[in-house]
A and B are shown apart, each in its own frame.
Chain A
Amino acid sequence: QQPVQSPQAVILREGEDAVINCSSSKALYSVHWYRQKHGEAPVFLMILLKGGEQKGHEKISASFNEKKQQSSLYLTASQLSYSGTYFCGTVTTQGGSEKLVFGKGTKLTVNP
């Protein structure tokens, strides 16, 4: 089942903060976050495992609340380079195997 991301799009000025949410109706094993710039392949940002841990990557951090079956990506003091589409991917088990299912994405635009 595809996770739900919100918002669908967000426009920021350089230096502003943003939060992108990802929720699932299924119990989650882990949550992955990727950023894809136009015309490029998705780039791995971070993975969060069960346990509610928070991870960071530069000024980007994320949390994972397994009880609420959701994760949030926090972008602090955004830079122009943060522009792109952010996808969360959730890992669930199906038929004994794990697979990564991506949300529809959140398009982030950072303007000067």
Chain B
Amino acid sequence: QSVLTQPPSVSGAPGQRVTISCTGSSSNIGAGYDVHWYQQLPGTAPKLLIYGNSNRPSGVPDRFSGSKSGTSASLAITGLQAEDEADYYCQSYDSSLSAPNYVFGTGTKVTVL
């Protein structure tokens, strides 16, 4: 099961701002590991949206922004557009085991009203 918790769904009207939270613990986000975000459009593979807490890969609109504080992180989408309707996942690294463990959030479905 996922060790990073996200709200199952968020929604907003076109042009509005929505935020998605990602709550972890002292063995992952709270331990200082970076948080990354992915966008998964229906029927497609995930796509890297934010890396290193707040960095956007080339080609990602600046409507998407990320932040991290303590044991949590957030993804914000400003100026919501119809094409932003998708599933969003946070991801980090967890050190609670003796071996590498790359953990994902539970996922959030964004609906554009």
Question: Do A and B make up one complex?
Answer: no
* Residues of B bordering A, CB below 8 Å: none
